[in-house]
Amino acid sequence: MNALEIKNLTKSYPDFTLDNLNLTLPSGCIMGLVGENGAGKSTTIKLILDMIHKDSGSITILGRDNGDNIKLTKEDIGVVLDEVGIPECLTVNQVGKVMKHTFQNWNDAEYSRLVQKLALPDKKQFKEFSRGMKMKLGIAVAMSHNSKLLILDEATSGLDPVVRDEVVEMFSEFTRDESHSVLISSHIVNDLEKLCDYIAFLHKGKLLLCEEKDLLREEYGLVHCSIDEFQAIPFNSVKYKKENAYGVEAMVLRNAVPSDIHISPISIEELFVFMVKEAK
Ligand SMILES: Nc1ncnc2c1ncn2[C@@H]1O[C@H](COP(=O)(O)OP(=O)(O)OP(=O)(O)O)[C@@H](O)[C@H]1O
């Protein structure tokens, strides 16, 4: 089963259109949604969660339309958005007690384990938490009610590199069981590169690509060569190129490049930057 299927999703604001978006997240997988500021990542996530209304298209979450019975679906979705909606005066333990009454499948033991793992203070009130601590608490809650799908909007951005690494590991553990999946948006492409099975690039409301991460690395590469050598690379396999006095740097489709030209691996971040530049 697919955890999430988005078909022909469109939403227009006066200066922005999320344009005919199609995405499929298979169960057991992690998808990273990458995009510049204003690309449409939060709009997509809000549409999935039915927080805003779509103009057209369909969204199916865990086999159910997101408009139908969304309350039931929300039990199965762990959500971490930019603002973690937790009452200011609560401590970590009190949050656990409130959530036990909010979610049918609340798991106290899992919550305690995650709170400890993320080194959250037990005496402080939520209003005294730093931004990173707030995100960590949001993540612990989202992962403690037996959710099948985690949806995270920029949830790792406020975290320091060590904690980010731990959280990335927690998400990987979560999807080791094939029935759990994650959709995560982030500017920090390096985190997504480590974590994700699928990468989706959004640019100005349009999907530039959505592909398995390993396939992207197999398909694309970087070439640094002289202008003469570059003539031997078929034009339609060059996805982006930059010339300077020393030669050419180009993003290419590997299988079309003559074997005597060296191809270096390309990172997901480089791929994203080149694709956005090409699309501009
Ligand atoms: N309620 C709204 N009314 C009008 N325009 C909106 C509204 N919400 C979002 N937009 C516009 O939609 C576009 C996409 O915004 P969105 O928040 O989805 O981007 P994003 O990719 O999440 O960006 P960021 O990385 O900066 O958070 C922006 O141009 C934004 O101004």
- For 162-174, the pLDDT digits (tens) are 888 888 888 888 8
- For 214-237, the pLDDT digits (tens) are 999 899 999 998 888 888 898 888
Residues with CB under 6 A from ligand 1: 13, 15-16, 35, 37-43
According to CATH, the superfamily of the domain at 2-204 is P-loop containing nucleotide triphosphate hydrolases (3.40.50.300)
Cα–Cα distance, 28 to 33 (Å, whole number): 16
In testing the pocket of ligand 1, which one of 16, 37, 206 has its CB within 8 Å of the most ligand atoms?
A: 16
Most confident of 78-87, 104-113, 125-134: 104-113
Cα–Cα distance, 71 to 80 (Å, whole number): 17
Question: What separation in Å is there between the alpha carbon of 40 and the centre of ligand 1?
Answer: 6
Cα–Cα distance, 115 to 96 (Å, whole number): 10
Buried b (16+ CB within 10 A) or exposed e, 188-227: bbebbbbbbbbbbbbbbbbbbebebbeebbebbbbbebee
Cα–Cα distance, 240 to 231 (Å, whole number): 14
**31, 199 contact by CB (below 8 A):** yes
In testing the pocket of ligand 1, which one of 41, 44, 151 has its CB within 8 Å of the most ligand atoms?
A: 41
User: Span 263-276, mean pLDDT?
Assistant: 90
Question: What separation in Å is there between the alpha carbon of 187 and the centre of ligand 1?
Answer: 14
Q: Name the residue with tokens 């489709």.
A: 253
Ligand 1 atom, smallest distance to 40 CA: 18
Give the pLDDT of residue 71. Answer: 59
- Percentage of residues in the chain having pLDDT higher than 90: 53
Per DSSP (E only), the strands in 14-55 are 16-26, 30-35
- For 184-216, the pLDDT digits (tens) are 998 778 878 888 999 999 999 999 999 999 999
Claim: this prediction has a pTM higher than 0.95 = no
**151, 4 contact by CB (below 8 A):** no
- For 30-86, the pLDDT digits (tens) are 999 999 889 999 999 999 998 899 999 999 998 888 776 665 567 899 998 877 778
pLDDT band of residue 280 (cuts 50, 70, 90) is: low
Give the pLDDT of residue 69. Answer: 61
Give the pLDDT of residue 235. Answer: 86
Cα–Cα distance, 267 to 269 (Å, whole number): 5
Q: Which residues of the chain does CATH 3.40.50.300 include?
A: 2-204
